C-alpha cells in the first residue's frame, strides 16, 4: 500500500467501496482497470456501521468492528495488487452509513465504483441499497458493477438520452470516455406509454416518421460533439419501447451503459428515477450514472469561414 501526503493528495483518484464479499470482486476489478487507464490512485473505502444491533449474549465492541474493517481493506488491497500491480492504492476506513460515507469519500474523485446489491427487494428496502444511495447523491460519476463482471472488450458504450435536460453533462462524459477507450457510442432514445394510452397514440402516429424525426433531433444534439471528437464513431437508435428495457437490451451489446441523473429532491434515492433504478438493477454490464453539474464548453471546434480558419 502506498501512503500519500501533502501535495500528492491532490492527485487524481478513483474510489471503490469494498465489503469483503466475493460479490465485490467485480467492482474491484473494474476500479483497478479504471485507475490504471487514468494513471490514478485507487482509494479503497470500507464503512464500519456506527450503530449495530448486538445481542446481549454476543457483545461486539466497536474496536472489534474496526479490526474487521481493517482486515477487509487489507484483503481488498491484496486483490488489487494481484489484479493491477502498478496501481497505487490507499486504504480508507470510515464509520457511519454506507451511502453517505462512500459519497463523502468520493468527493473530488474521478469516479466512485460500487458493487451491485443483489439482495431481495424487500431486504434492500428495509436495510437500504448502497449502490442506489451513492448514485443518487454523488457529485461525480458513479459506476455500479455486477458481481460477476469480467471485461468483455466489445468496444461499445451505450448511452441513454431521455430528454434535452442534462444531455450536455451526459454527452460530455460519454464522448470523452469513448475517445479514451477508443470505443463506439450507441446513443439510445426510447419512449412508450402505459398500454391503454400507448395504443391510442400508436394508432395516430406514423412510427417510421417518428423515428426519422427522433433521429434528426438526436443528430442535432450530437452534431458539435461529433465535430469535437471526430475519431469517435456514433450510432443513433430511436426505439418505441420502455426506456429501462431499451437500455438494458442495448447494454447486452456494450461494455458500459451510461445514464444521466436528473435533479432530485429529498430523499435522494426516491427521486433517482424509475428508468435509472431499473437499469442499475438489471443491466448485464457496468452502469455509469452521470450527476447534474456545470459542464465545460464543447472542446474547441475548428471551422472554415470564407477560406479562413476560425475558432
Alpha-carbon distance of 122 to 115, in angstroms, equals 19
The mean-pLDDT minimum among 124-128, 280-284, 290-294 falls in 124-128
Quick one: pLDDT band at residue 242, thresholds 50, 70, 90?
confident
| CB burial of residue 263 (10 Å; 0-12, 13-18, 19+) | exposed
Residue 211's pLDDT band (boundaries 50, 70, 90)? Answer: confident
DSSP letters along 184-220, please? EEEEEEEE---HHHHHHHHHHS-HHHHHHHHHHHHHH
* Range in 63-72, 122-131, 299-308 with the lowest mean pLDDT: 299-308
* CA distance linking residue 16 with residue 114, whole number of Å: 6
Considering the chain, what percentage of its residues have pLDDT values greater than 90? 53
Q: What is the pLDDT of residue 167?
A: 86
Residue 26 has pLDDT above 50, yes or no: yes
Of 166-180, 202-216, 274-288, 291-305, the poorest mean pLDDT is in 291-305
pLDDT-derived band at 5, boundaries 50, 70, 90: very low
Cα–Cα separations (whole angstroms), residue 15 to 43, 89, 113, 269? 5, 10, 6, 20
Give pLDDT tens digits for 10-23. 469 999 999 988 88
Mean pLDDT over all residues of the chain?
81
Enumerate domains of the chain plus CATH numbers: 10-145 (3.40.50.620), 156-285 (3.40.50.12370)
Cell digits for 300? 474547441
Asked if residue 151 has pLDDT above 50, the reply is yes
pLDDT value at residue 265? 53
* Better-scored residue on pLDDT, 52 or 287: 287
Can you give the pLDDT at residue 50?
A: 74
Residue 196 has what pLDDT?
Answer: 53
Residue 97 vs residue 297, higher pLDDT: 97
When pLDDT is cut at 50, 70 and 90, the band that residue 162 belongs to is confident
The CB density around residue 191, as the number of other CB atoms within 10 Å, is 17
Query: Is residue 125 over pLDDT 90?
Result: no
User: Of 115, 97, 119, which Cα lies nearest the Cα of 268?
Assistant: 97
**pLDDT score, position 145:** 96
- The pTM of this model reads 0.83
Partnered with residue 163 across adjacent β-strands are: none
Count Cβ neighbours within 10 Å for each residue of 79-88 and write b for 16 or more, e otherwise. bbeebbeebb
Give the pLDDT confidence score for residue 126 in this predicted structure. Answer: 41
Q: What is the per-residue pLDDT for 262?
A: 74
pLDDT of residue 164: 65
Matching residue, cell 443528430: 219
Average pLDDT over residues 262-274: 61
Residue 63 has a pLDDT of 65
Q: Strand locations in 96-138, DSSP E? A: 111-115
Tell me what the mean pLDDT of segment 263-284 comes to: 74
What pLDDT shows up at residue 39?
Answer: 94
- What is the mean pLDDT of the segment spanning 77-102? 95
Q: Which residues contact 263 (CB under 8 A, 6 or more apart)?
A: 166, 292
d(C-alpha 212, C-alpha 206), whole Å: 10
Cell numbers for 296: 465545460
The mean pLDDT of 253-273, rounded to a whole number, is 74
Q: What is the pLDDT of residue 23?
A: 87
Amino acid at each position: 500500500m502506498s501512503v500519500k501526503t501533502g501535495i500528492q493528495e491532490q492527485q487524481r483518484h478513483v474510489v471503490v467501496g469494498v465489503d469483503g464479499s466475493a460479490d465485490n470482486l467485480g467492482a474491484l476489478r473494474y476500479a483497478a482497470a479504471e485507475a490504471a487507464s487514468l494513471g490514478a490512485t485507487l482509494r479503497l473505502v470500507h464503512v464500519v456501521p456506527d450503530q449495530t444491533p448486538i445481542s446481549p449474549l454476543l457483545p461486539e465492541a466497536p474496536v472489534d468492528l474496526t479490526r474487521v474493517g481493517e482486515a477487509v481493506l487489507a484483503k481488498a488491497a491484496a486483490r488489487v495488487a494481484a489484479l493491477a500491480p502498478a496501481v497505487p492504492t490507499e486504504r480508507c476506513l470510515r464509520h457511519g452509513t454506507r451511502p453517505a460515507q462512500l459519497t463523502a469519500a468520493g468527493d473530488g474523485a474521478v469516479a466512485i465504483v460500487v458493487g451491485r446489491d443483489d439482495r431481495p427487494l424487500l431486504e434492500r428496502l428495509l436495510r437500504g441499497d448502497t449502490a442506489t444511495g451513492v448514485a443518487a447523491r454523488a457529485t461525480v460519476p458513479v459506476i455500479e458493477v455486477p458481481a460477476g463482471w469480467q471485461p468483455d472488450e466489445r468496444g461499445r458504450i451505450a448511452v441513454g438520452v431521455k430528454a434535452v435536460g442534462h444531455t450536455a453533462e451526459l454527452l460530455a462524459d460519454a464522448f470523452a470516455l469513448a475517445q479514451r477507450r477508443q470505443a463506439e457510442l450507441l446513443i439510445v432514445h426510447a419512449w412508450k406509454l402505459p398500454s391503454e394510452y400507448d395504443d391510442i397514440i400508436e394508432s395516430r402516429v406514423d412510427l417510421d416518421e417518428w423515428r426519422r424525426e427522433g433521429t434528426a433531433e438526436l443528430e442535432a444534439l450530437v452534431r458539435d460533439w461529433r465535430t469535437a471528437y471526430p475519431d469517435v464513431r456514433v450510432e443513433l437508435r430511436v426505439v418505441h419501447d420502455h426506456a429501462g428495457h431499451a437500455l438494458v437490451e442495448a447494454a447486452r451489446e456494450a461494455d458500459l451503459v451510461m445514464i444521466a441523473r436528473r435533479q432530485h429532491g429529498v430523499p435522494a434515492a426516491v427521486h433517482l428515477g424509475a428508468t435509472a433504478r431499473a437499469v442499475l438493477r438489471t443491466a448485464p454490464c457496468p452502469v455509469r450514472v452521470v450527476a447534474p453539474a456545470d459542464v465545460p464548453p464543447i472542446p474547441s471546434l475548428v471551422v472554415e469561414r470564407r477560406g479562413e480558419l476560425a475558432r
